[in-house]
Structure 1
């Protein structure tokens, strides 16, 4: 009851904010709503005082503005919805895809207090210089630039233990105060609404709304611990240690804790400043290819990818390297999922629609009672309008969006592990095209995808898998032999115990027989003795 009351009050506030922005339109798309929501839809616009200017804005723009006003949790929700064309439609997806989580900064004194509490040291002892004004303020955290002093070894012939003083520029990320409680409150509301939708709107169950909220909750939980983000940055850096065209900031682990993360400062030009990149002499066409190649290496080769590769998180250094920042949202993919994605994309782009359909059936994404031929026909209806265009106009992102739109017809359940990939692929393609409008995602991706498929899906790969499985069995063979020997020893011991037990049973039976003889004989002797005594008396 208390849960329902709290969530209902919060929902009223949310509804009023949506009404102010004329963004309650999405409720009209549900055929059967609980009576409470029907009344809410009709009444709430009457109480939307101080309505913001929404005339002339598209539905998606109005919804995005409302989510910004509702705060960090709803901004994250909007970002999650921005990959669900099957749920909200392609037009809304495009508008929510532009949602940027920019909020006013929190005061410097709050930042100081957080740093000193988390790192257990005065700010001045940690940094020789710390800029009071933040360089960036987003929904979850804000970033300040600072400078640190370190002593590094500088041995000489006269003094092998000599050190020298080195200054480094760093960026310090600090979580917003109270952000954990704010997310916890709103996630409770999201779970409640997802449960209501699945209860009263049976057609939404295949969308697995509760699972989507769980995925959002897991992502937020990781973002609330900056040590996890630091670890993600470190892992990504290791994966690209031999890639000169891509870099990741170095983590300062001594100045990193749960709510504070310090990393090397990126000196470069934001990738969204196209004119500045051109003025600096950077090759935009080469950069666009680097964006796609790096993204595909993360997805296919490593199965670990930066899932927030928008313009604001990518910089170009003076030497032409692409550097990523903000590793709060990362995606992981199993080898099986990577094989599915590679084979599915290759099937579409070679117009082998039956194979594209078969891949979905083999992965279990389409229920087995559905028609393979019908699904292949649906795949053709998606691929031909896109792939039939000039090669420079083919959009992999658009193909994926339309593929997800047919999920309802074929009762496909949502695959959360693919949603994050879809969103990232759409973003990466958009970044590449902003640098080079003529780039074709498939032409840029084909060498990387083809090479990976040869290594992982060709005859050599299958042979390698067989050898790998054989080696695995051989490695286990000594343990199998040892276990078999142990089992045989146990069986022999049990057999010996069984023989010994039979012997004991025989002795016990003999003892019982002897005892019966003794008892009967003793009784007879006792009776005889008693009779003799009686005669004598």
Structure 2
């Protein structure tokens, strides 16, 4: 790592200390040199930040350090196993807002990225939203038939890639130092966290990847009533430019405006939760950044409209089954079934006890029985479940943590719309339908079909394997008939004679 990486790291440490971020270590049982270092760091803590809460201190520090550190906070929000559930939940609310870059740069950026396709864009507005990586403008698109439509243009910040490279170098240096100073910190895998941030940043800084995400999610949800996302205009999309249809609507956090428009907030809350579960359980692909700033409501139809698809979540069929049957098991209070599922999928080692794990699940589910709907949280259940599995040697499943993090966001938004939201009643039809379909005859038939396809693929490889085996046998026969020079018998005799001669000379010298 270069000297400048460490200097930037020192600056980051100063800002974190100044903004009071090290207050998060209170009550964590830190001792020795680390505790002494934290004590000195807190000497420069601003008095003003002592009046604010823990969340504001960390959020303020990350915002002040810039886009890379904001993204780091968002990554850590998915790693409750590293930062703890309280800090992870706090960071889940970290929203990415930054001042826009100079609007005078926009025409040149568009012209360079789109070539002559830029001529179809007119009436480009000032920025309507700005984040750490990109900002959004509204504009008018002139179609080939002469018709016009309002569109949204997302532009990468001109200097964002260079900024990320420099900051990532500093974070890599920090991760290395942490592991060097305290080998026990390897358990938290700081280098892996930085690597996750790096992968996330690389994907987010190619807006064609976000365009592909929108396209895939649109195909999955185009027939779903009540949930809408924009469509991509590919000719006006490039690595640093994303053009989509414009999404009008009332921000989902503006309750007074929703009420004034006659929108049924309870219905919107129900739709939001059900669509999220549908995308996760049915498709295994979901919007993973559903904070209030990315959600709107169409005042005419009451449909939920989502934007900003830079962060997406994907889970495989095994995780889809896990999520559906876990929720179904809690709804039915069938804790042994949930426990057995963990073992069948391989999440919990076989040497653990199915019955003991079922008992731990019961400790989560039974306190919910008879409680008011407003006190029952599906996200909290999933969080407790992931916490409990640590006692039974279940490894952290990052894909499930991402799911849990977004469930916290979605459930939080839905609760603000309808404080009496009954999570289990809303989830039951989605979960039951999936379980009955996939465990029933249709699911069995589809599983058999997948197995048959896999076997057919393996069978197709058999002739090639046979050919390779025959070629190996043929080569072995050739080698046996014409051995290499060093394998001939007279060569071996020459080597032995040489060794005897060398040994005799050595003995003579010693005598």
| TM-score, normalised relative to structure 2 | 0.83
Work out the CA distance in 1 between the residues paired with 2:186 and 2:354.
Answer: 23
Q: Find out whether 1:12 has 2:14 as its counterpart.
A: no
SS at match of 1:130: coil
Work out the CA distance in 1 between the residues paired with 2:327 and 2:468.
Answer: 50
* Residues 18 and 169 (structure 1), Cα distance of their counterparts in 2 relative to 1, 3 Å cut: same
Give the C-alpha shift of residue 467 in structure 1. 4.8
> What do residues 5-38 of structure 1 show as CA deviations (whole Å, max 9, x unaligned)?
4443222211111111111134556666784x55
Q: In the alignment, what sits opposite 1:92?
A: 87
- State which of 66, 70, 74 in structure 2 corresponds to 1:71: 66
Q: Map 1:521-536 to 2 at 5 A.
A: none
Q: In the alignment, what sits opposite 1:171?
A: 152
Q: Find out whether 1:223 has 2:217 as its counterpart.
A: no
Q: Which has the larger radius of gyration?
A: 1
Work out the CA distance in 2 between the residues paired with 1:480 and 1:65.
Answer: 57
Q: Which runs of 5+ in 1 are unaligned?
A: 153-164, 502-537
Q: In the alignment, what sits opposite 1:527?
A: none
Q: Find out whether 1:269 has 2:250 as its counterpart.
A: yes
Give the C-alpha shift of residue 206 in structure 1. 5.1
Give the C-alpha shift of residue 237 in structure 1. 0.9
> What do residues 432-483 of structure 1 show as CA deviations (whole Å, max 9, x unaligned)?
2222111122211110111111111235422442355346656877x58977
* Residues 487 and 269 (structure 1), Cα distance of their counterparts in 2 relative to 1, 3 Å cut: closer
SS at match of 2:98: coil
Q: Map 1:213-252 to 2 at 5 A.
A: 213-252=194-233
Work out the CA distance in 1 between the residues paired with 2:292 and 2:421.
Answer: 17
* Residues 365 and 32 (structure 1), Cα distance of their counterparts in 2 relative to 1, 3 Å cut: farther
Q: Find out whether 1:134 has 2:127 as its counterpart.
A: yes
SS at match of 2:149: strand
Work out the CA distance in 1 between the residues paired with 2:278 and 2:297.
Answer: 19
In the alignment, is the contact (CA less than 8 A) between 1:86 and 1:407 conserved in 2?
no
* Residues 481 and 368 (structure 1), Cα distance of their counterparts in 2 relative to 1, 3 Å cut: closer
Q: Which runs of 5+ in 2 are unaligned?
A: 482-511
Work out the CA distance in 1 between the residues paired with 2:47 and 2:108.
Answer: 36
In the alignment, is the contact (CA less than 8 A) between 1:360 and 1:366 conserved in 2?
yes
Q: Greater CA deviation, 404-413 or 95-104?
A: 404-413
Q: In the alignment, what sits opposite 2:38?
A: 41
- State which of 310, 316, 319 in structure 2 corresponds to 1:334: 316
Give the C-alpha shift of residue 41 in structure 1. 2.1
* Residues 129 and 391 (structure 1), Cα distance of their counterparts in 2 relative to 1, 3 Å cut: closer
> What do residues 503-534 of structure 1 show as CA deviations (whole Å, max 9, x unaligned)?
xxxxxxxxxxxxxxxxxxxxxxxxxxxxxxxx
User: What is the CA RMSD across the aligned residues, in angstroms?
Assistant: 3.1
* Residues 412 and 208 (structure 1), Cα distance of their counterparts in 2 relative to 1, 3 Å cut: farther
Q: Greater CA deviation, 113-122 or 240-249?
A: 113-122
Work out the CA distance in 2 between the residues paired with 1:209 and 1:406.
Answer: 23
Give the C-alpha shift of residue 172 in structure 1. 0.8
Q: Map 1:397-408 to 2 at 5 A.
A: 397-408=379-390
| TM-score, normalised relative to structure 1 | 0.80
- State which of 120, 131, 143 in structure 1 corresponds to 2:136: 143
* Residues 122 and 243 (structure 1), Cα distance of their counterparts in 2 relative to 1, 3 Å cut: closer
SS at match of 1:105: coil
Work out the CA distance in 2 between the residues paired with 1:484 and 1:77.
Answer: 47
Work out the CA distance in 1 between the residues paired with 2:438 and 2:41.
Answer: 56
Q: Greater CA deviation, 312-321 or 352-361?
A: 352-361
Give the C-alpha shift of residue 373 in structure 1. 3.7
Give the C-alpha shift of residue 311 in structure 1. 1.3
SS at match of 1:120: helix
Work out the CA distance in 2 between the residues paired with 1:260 and 1:389.
Answer: 49
Work out the CA distance in 2 between the residues paired with 1:203 and 1:31.
Answer: 14
Q: In the alignment, what sits opposite 2:412?
A: 430
Work out the CA distance in 1 between the residues paired with 2:122 and 2:445.
Answer: 58
Work out the CA distance in 2 between the residues paired with 1:304 and 1:114.
Answer: 32
Q: In the alignment, what sits opposite 1:103?
A: 98
Work out the CA distance in 1 between the residues paired with 2:99 and 2:302.
Answer: 32
* Residues 182 and 208 (structure 1), Cα distance of their counterparts in 2 relative to 1, 3 Å cut: same
Work out the CA distance in 2 between the residues paired with 1:310 and 1:277.
Answer: 17
Q: Map 1:279-294 to 2 at 5 A.
A: 279-294=260-275
Give the C-alpha shift of residue 281 in structure 1. 1.8
* Residues 472 and 100 (structure 1), Cα distance of their counterparts in 2 relative to 1, 3 Å cut: closer
Q: In the alignment, what sits opposite 1:184?
A: 165
SS at match of 2:93: coil
In the alignment, is the contact (CA less than 8 A) between 1:60 and 1:91 conserved in 2?
no
Work out the CA distance in 2 between the residues paired with 1:212 and 1:388.
Answer: 40
> What do residues 106-162 of structure 1 show as CA deviations (whole Å, max 9, x unaligned)?
110122222222112496x3422111x21011111111111122232xxxxxxxxxx
Work out the CA distance in 2 between the residues paired with 1:13 and 1:385.
Answer: 47
Q: Find out whether 1:299 has 2:277 as its counterpart.
A: no
In the alignment, is the contact (CA less than 8 A) between 1:23 and 1:62 conserved in 2?
yes
